[in-house]
Structure 1
Amino acid sequence: MTMHRTARASWPRELEIKLDLGIEDAGKLKKWLALRGSPECARQHSVYFDTPDRRLFASDLVLRIRSCGNGLVQTVKTLSPSAAGMFDRAEWEKRVASLAPVADDRITELILDPRMVAELASVFDIETARSRWMVGEQKALCLVVDEALIRADERQSAFCEVEVEIASGDATAGFALARKLDRVVPIRISVSSKAERGFRLLEPLRRGYPAESIALSPALTIREAFPQLIAACLRQYRLNETVLLDRHEPEAVHQARVALRRLRSVLALFGGMLDVRADRFDEMVRDLAREIGRLRDIDVAIGSSMFERHRDILGQRRTDAYARLVGVLRAPAARALPLDLIEWAGSRRNMLERLRTESDGPITGFATEALTRARNRLARRARHFSKLAPAKRHRVRIAAKHLRYASDSFASLFEYDHPRRTERFLRTLNRLQKELGKLNDLAVARAMLAELDGSNVPSGNARQAKRAGRRLQELLEAREFWTVA
């Protein structure tokens, strides 16, 4: 069976800005909107289907049958696995007679095995109370508030989301409306479709969300690839931020910081082409990452036997640091940052005017040059690694991270030509990062212990530096996956 992961331009499309809204704030928002006109209200019941081994969802496809008052409609949608805020999906609708999926001749290229239809079974259902307004100049925007309840097996979860449907293809007015809504109630960009929420409810509770693989098409231009990479980073960040707004999970702390570091790496990769707003965004992301980093350092210390006698004081510091972080995350600036980034990244005005023609060039050539620069930078900084001072070793670690994040961003462009080489390079790079990370953890631990009780523990740096040096040599001898030879 063949699945198509990349939506074609000729397929029917749905473009919308999706926002998360607290359940407790839905009533206030609806009252505010009601002052601007009466909504069109409806209740919907949607049943989602998949095979026992989740083949549809694994291939970024969703099939549901929705009851909406005047019959049943079967919808097949492509998922946007790297979507953040802006959802651009292909979808096909077909009226059906019952809650049983049927074949659709228009989408046989997506599902080539007709026997799949017979394997489909319901996996969860969603009850939705939908309120719909036409707003904006000349009522050109459709705004939807959905209050929903997912039921999956013995579990259920309530949520509320806002959708701003974009008909013209220009999302400027939609983003302006989103900011206006945030002045009424707190909102955040959404990174999860209703289907993803349902499938997530079937899984064990997640403690954090690592980065997902990025699938860039070699046919993309530089300008087209940039917003996809930004969205992938923001998706990882928002998934982990959602966990942190609910509870303290050390893994979510770690992954949220990783997401922001990936985001800064993407901004740096494209930095020479971006307008002045890139610097402002980089500063804001850096400050947020530092705030998360304070909590991360305490989490790491509490998990180390070196800090056994300081657990009580570190526990209080962690409580205080988490409370401070939640306060930062709940502030308007932190809510606005992902929304502003998504709009800017997708704008044709984010590139320097003198480079806009160049930005229409192929992403593959740009990626090759960027990866080569990142590898050469690491090689320069890593010379005589075992003899380097801690500050210079830290610069090696930063260079390795930039190479890792660049490799993760662009690997999909080359993996079909060099799959084994790509896998080996990424595996070797991951090993190096772990050893350099241990070296950094030792330095952070020594500084924290000195601050707590003035102790001067043996660093262990020489042994760890030797291990990191071996991994460095392995990487620098590895064949690059982005070269033709």
Structure 2
Amino acid sequence: MEIELKYLIDKDEVIEEIFQDPYLSKIKDKNSDEEIEMHAVYFDTEDRKLYREGMAFRVRKEGNKLVATLKWNGSSEEGMHKREEINVPVDDEEKLKTPDIHIFDQSEMCQVLSQVVGKRKLIPLMDIYFKRRQMRLDTGKSISELSVDQGQIVCNGKVAPISELEIELYSGEEDDMKALGDDMAEKYGLIAENTSKFKRGLDLM
């Protein structure tokens, strides 16, 4: 299960302050600072069968890597997002244009996905472009990754900006990660965000 906090950033100047924060500098993995260019394409059937079944399917270029992701059973409250997730490495950039559900043949969702999609063709719904700046944090009670995403969602000829901070729990105590997020939000004026990038894209349709 993926567990993460999501916050809107409405002042770009706080981004550098966050990455220079004295406490975060103490608890971060010194070799984990990284910037990655991301391009995600979300797919569904023409009749939005995946979405109607509470599922989201994307293929994302992450720097030099390609990763296919399936998410389902999602919920969000006060910026805390929880959902089941499968990630599968992909070695063909054509999958950014013409993916198929067989990417997940080795996963526990293979049969469910086959039943939901059937013989329907998958079509692209939206493109999401952003730069991610990230670092790994270890408080002693939880290990998480803090990232800032800046870019845009492109869907149906419309564009929506992205400027958000995420903290994803890798291991340890969820409450500890939540306390860290609350501290960051209060200190830097961040706004809890319950809407995913995918849902924001759908709102453009």
- Scaled to the shorter chain, the TM-score interval is 0.7 to 0.9
Normalising by structure 1, what TM-score? 0.36
Q: CA separation in 1, counterparts of 2:84 and 2:175?
A: 21
Partner of 1:75: 69
Q: CA separation in 2, counterparts of 1:193 and 1:110?
A: 23
Question: Does residue 170 of structure 2 align to residue 177 of structure 1?
Answer: no
Q: CA separation in 1, counterparts of 2:69 and 2:162?
A: 21
Question: Does residue 9 of structure 2 align to residue 21 of structure 1?
Answer: yes
Q: Secondary structure at the match of 1:50?
A: strand
Find the partner of 2:126 among 124, 127, 143: 124
Partner of 2:51: 57
Post-superposition shift, 1:117?
A: 6.3
Determine which structure has the larger strand proportion and give its number. 2
Find the partner of 1:155 among 152, 155, 158: 158
Structure 1 pair 117/188, CA: closer, same or farther in 2 (3 Å)?
farther
Letter in 2 for 1:29: I
Structure 1 pair 18/32, CA: closer, same or farther in 2 (3 Å)?
closer
Normalising by structure 2, what TM-score? 0.81
Question: Does residue 19 of structure 2 align to residue 33 of structure 1?
Answer: yes
Structure 1 pair 58/182, CA: closer, same or farther in 2 (3 Å)?
same
Find the partner of 1:194 among 166, 186, 197: 197
CA contact (8 A) 2:148 2:166 kept: yes
Q: How many residues align?
A: 187
Post-superposition shift, 1:77?
A: 0.7
Q: CA separation in 2, counterparts of 1:46 and 1:149?
A: 11
Q: Secondary structure at the match of 2:112?
A: coil
CA deviation profile, 1:105-142 (whole Å, cap 9, x unmatched): 22223223386465110010100110111234258321
CA contact (8 A) 1:101 1:117 kept: no
Letter in 1 for 2:159: Q
Structure 1 pair 184/114, CA: closer, same or farther in 2 (3 Å)?
closer
CA deviation profile, 1:304-331 (whole Å, cap 9, x unmatched): xxxxxxxxxxxxxxxxxxxxxxxxxxxx
Structure 1 pair 15/156, CA: closer, same or farther in 2 (3 Å)?
same
Letter in 2 for 1:120: L
Post-superposition shift, 1:32?
A: 3.1
CA deviation profile, 1:250-302 (whole Å, cap 9, x unmatched): xxxxxxxxxxxxxxxxxxxxxxxxxxxxxxxxxxxxxxxxxxxxxxxxxxxxx
Alignment of 1:78-89 (within 5 A): 78-80=72-74, 82-84=75-77, 85-89=79-83
Letter in 2 for 1:21: I
Question: Does residue 89 of structure 2 align to residue 95 of structure 1?
Answer: yes
CA deviation profile, 1:40-75 (whole Å, cap 9, x unmatched): 110100001011111111111000010112232111
Moved more, 188-197 or 42-51: 188-197
CA deviation profile, 1:222-273 (whole Å, cap 9, x unmatched): xxxxxxxxxxxxxxxxxxxxxxxxxxxxxxxxxxxxxxxxxxxxxxxxxxxx
Q: Secondary structure at the match of 1:201?
A: coil
Q: CA separation in 2, counterparts of 1:95 and 1:118?
A: 23
Greater Rg over alpha carbons, structure? 1
CA contact (8 A) 1:47 1:65 kept: yes
Structure 1 pair 116/47, CA: closer, same or farther in 2 (3 Å)?
farther
Q: What residue ranges of structure 2 are gaps of 5+ in the alignment?
A: none
Structure 1 pair 70/190, CA: closer, same or farther in 2 (3 Å)?
same
CA contact (8 A) 1:51 1:116 kept: no
Structure 1 pair 86/115, CA: closer, same or farther in 2 (3 Å)?
closer
Report which structure shows greater RCO (CA 8 Å, sep ≥6).
2
RMSD of the alignment, in Å?
2.2
Post-superposition shift, 1:149?
A: 0.3
CA contact (8 A) 2:50 2:116 kept: no
Q: CA separation in 1, counterparts of 2:204 and 2:83?
A: 22
Q: CA separation in 2, counterparts of 1:79 and 1:185?
A: 31
